Amino acid sequence: MKHTDSISSIQMAIIIASSIIGVSLMVLPRFVASKVGEAAILASVVGLLISFLSVLAITLLGRKYRNYTIIGCNRLILGKFVGNLMNYMIILLTIFLMGLEVRQFSEVLASGLLPNTPIEISIALMIILCALVGFRNVSTFAYIHTFYLPFLLIPMVFFILAFEDMESYHLLPIFGHDLSFFEFMSGAFEMSSAITNFFVISLLIPYIKDNESMVKNGIWGFFLGGLAILYTIIVALGVFGVKELEQIHWPALSLSRVIEIPGEVLSRVDAIILITWIFAVFTTLLSYFFVIVRGTAEIFRTNRFAFISTIMIPIIFVVALIPNNVYEIFEYVITIAKIVTVLFILLPFGLIVIGRFRKKVGVQ
């Protein structure tokens, strides 16, 4: 395809940050704390470092093969058969992840803002909203992320007001209680599995005009998004403690309900945070949908993005309805996200190594 539009590496960094800050923000503190207890902060840092390896590999791959997306790199380096097999796997896993995360979104919405609205309505509306954006211009996709990023950081400001409710003993000991290395890494991997949506940048590589700055700005974008997630985990753990976090389905939403504005200027802080969180969910799901639509279009060598978007709406909707309850949602998400994490870390590194051995030239 001829690339008629472009984005900057700074816009790519913004896309990474706004994609990471999404659905996982509401539930991640519970996931990590239930695995490693008080070591949640340290495990989260290690988990971020694991995910950082994937970001680094994707940006390094993009700098070498700047005219190819991950779909094109798979075909070029792995061959047509194996490459397309990997491409189908990426699209399929992304469809499942998007379906499960939009289901999580609808469950949170039903418990906090729209209790009388059927979850099917919330699921359908969010998927349709993503489909209506259109995916012909990559620059439009980047502008949407850029516009919404300030709104995504609003909850971080409100969470400062929860500092007075934090207890230092909830954060200690930082290494947890008698954790084995396997248990600790399980919690770290939980963190990595929750922020795989930055993979969208692997389909933006040919459109980045200042390719040489891609690695540096990619690191900054990941740092911003990861810091927001880590900050939320620290505040939630400090306020509730491990035992209480394990009993809360949506820790960030519960955290917003304990916040009190001085002078009682605002009585429903949780409603404001939930509304801004909807923006974060939208940008995250939009990144998933971008991978699905643009990736499928490149696999079949077509530019009929509107047609592909329309086809994907009922498919993702059906996937979202597969789990019967919140607990099944968590089980499905954890299982698939772990597979995706391994794939998204090993694949770009593998392509760099195999491309070197097979002497596949990216940029002279």
- Read off the pLDDT of residues 290-330 as tens digits, 9 standing for 90 and up: 999 999 999 999 989 999 999 999 999 999 999 988 889 88
Note whether residue 356 is domain-resident: no
Distance of CA 347 to the CA centre of its chain: 18
Note whether residue 359 is domain-resident: no
Q: How far is the CA of 209 from the CAs of 56, 138, 144, 150, in angstroms?
A: 18, 12, 18, 24
Structure tokens at 321: 């309805």
| Rounded distance between C-alpha atoms, residue 340 and residue 271, angstroms | 32
Q: Is 119:110 a contact under the CB 8 Å cutoff?
A: yes
Note whether residue 36 is domain-resident: yes
Output the average pLDDT for the chain: 89
| Rounded distance between C-alpha atoms, residue 66 and residue 27, angstroms | 36
Note whether residue 190 is domain-resident: yes
Task: Please compute the mean of the pLDDT values over residues 342-348 and round it to a whole number.
Answer: 90
Note whether residue 343 is domain-resident: yes
Note whether residue 1 is domain-resident: no
What CATH number is attached to the domain comprising 261? 1.20.1740.10
User: What is the rounded (10 degree) CA torsion for 165, 168, 170, 173?
Assistant: 170
Task: Give how many domains the chain has, as a whole number.
Answer: 1
Note whether residue 362 is domain-resident: no
Is the bond leading into 155 cis (omega within 30 degrees of zero)?
Answer: no
13: helix, coil or strand?
Answer: helix
Q: What tens digit of pLDDT does each residue of 229-248 get?
A: 999 999 999 999 999 998 88
Question: Residues of 183-206 as b/e, b for ≥16 C-beta within 10 angstroms?
Answer: bbbbbbbbbbbbbbbbbbbbbbbb
pTM for this prediction: 0.92
Note whether residue 361 is domain-resident: no
Task: Please compute the mean of the pLDDT values over residues 138-145 and round it to a whole number.
Answer: 92
Q: What tens digit of pLDDT does each residue of 201-236 get?
A: 999 999 998 888 899 999 999 999 999 999 999 999
Q: What's the domain range around 295?
A: 9-349
Task: Please compute the mean of the pLDDT values over residues 27-55 and round it to a whole number.
Answer: 91
Q: Is 254:50 a contact under the CB 8 Å cutoff?
A: no
